[in-house]
Amino acid sequence: MAVRINPSILSADFANLETEFGRIANADLAHVDVMDNHFVPNLTLGLPVVARLQEISPIPLDVHLMIDDPDRWAPAYAETGAYSVTFHAEAAADPVKVARSLRERGARAGIALKPGTSAEPFLELLPEFDMVLVMTVEPGFGGQSFMSSTMPKLNTLSSAVRASGLDVWLQVDGGINDDTIAIAADAGADTFVAGSSVFGAESASAQIEKLRALAGEHTH
């Protein structure tokens, strides 16, 4: 199974983003965390910055929207040309409608679940999504500890995706590092977001390859 490593630029130097994107050119996608200070208690960047990052990034963008009312705001992120746009289940009034509007605009449609959000209501909706993001920390900040309590949910989703035969990626985000990536891979993740572990490394590119190798040993 393919393994994808998506560094989160939340841990990058925000004053030198073009240089920072150059450090992760061997990654699969660049994970961009959009926070609105309402859905999560933190504020990062918005549409004009994502549109510009799209132009300078050597790799496709994986946009993670931690915002209220994705029904209203998510489609415009797809229009920037982002390869993947993920919104939160807890924030969306009509998740299927949002996902369809993302696909219509040429993006992969992802749905994110906070640690306390059950996967069950979404299992029958899997054909509507290209990715499910299982948050492995409470969204809002980088550098938090991986919550292994979310692994049963990942197992459930992995079984459902396999049974369906669909090409739905399973992403984990939060606390992914040399010690935890194998746990998430064993539970069925194939797409790994890593912020502090990649940008905190002396060589981000070497750390990406290390994580890719560790995950590859554990995907099944």
Stretch that binds ligand DX5, among 7-15, 19-27, 101-109, 178-186 (CB under 6 A): 7-15
| Binding status of residue 62 toward Zn ion by CB under 5 A | no
Asked if 10 interacts with ligand DX5 (CB under 6 A), we say yes
Residue 2 neighbours by CB under 8 Å, 6+ apart: 190
Q: Which stretch binds ligand DX5 (CB under 6 A): 53-61, 136-144, 164-172, 181-189?
A: 136-144
Letters for 28-47 (x = contact with Zn ion by CB under 5 A, - = none) are: -----x--------------
64 binds Zn ion (CB under 5 A): yes
Choosing from 33, 62, 130, 190, the catalytic residue is: 33
Q: Token pair 């054909």 is at which residue? A: 127
114 binds ligand DX5 (CB under 6 A): no
User: How many C-beta atoms surround the C-beta of residue 17 within 10 A?
Assistant: 19
62 pairs with which residues across the strands? 31, 84
* Catalytic annotation, pick one of 28, 130, 173, 190: 173
Please answer whether residues 165 and 196 qualify as being in contact, where contact means their C-beta atoms are separated by less than 8 angstroms. Answer: no
> Regarding beta strands 191-194 and 131-135, do their DSSP bridges make them parallel or antiparallel, or are they unpaired?
unpaired
Of the candidates 20, 28, 130, 173, which one interacts with Zn ion according to CB under 5 A? 173
Report the 10 Å Cβ neighbour count for 7: 33
Q: CB nearest ligand DX5: which residue? A: 195
Q: Closest distance between Zn ion and the C-beta of residue 8, in Å?
A: 5
Residue type, 52: R
Longest dimension (CA), the chain: 45
| Gap between the Cα atoms of 2 and 81, Å rounded | 23
Q: Give, as ranges, the residues between 35 and 64 that touch ligand DX5 (CB under 6 A).
A: 64
Residue 110: strand pairing partners: 86, 131
Our answer to whether residue 94 is catalytic in this structure is: no
Catalytic residue numbers, as ranges: 33, 173
**Residues forming the site for Zn ion (CB under 5 A):** 33, 64, 173
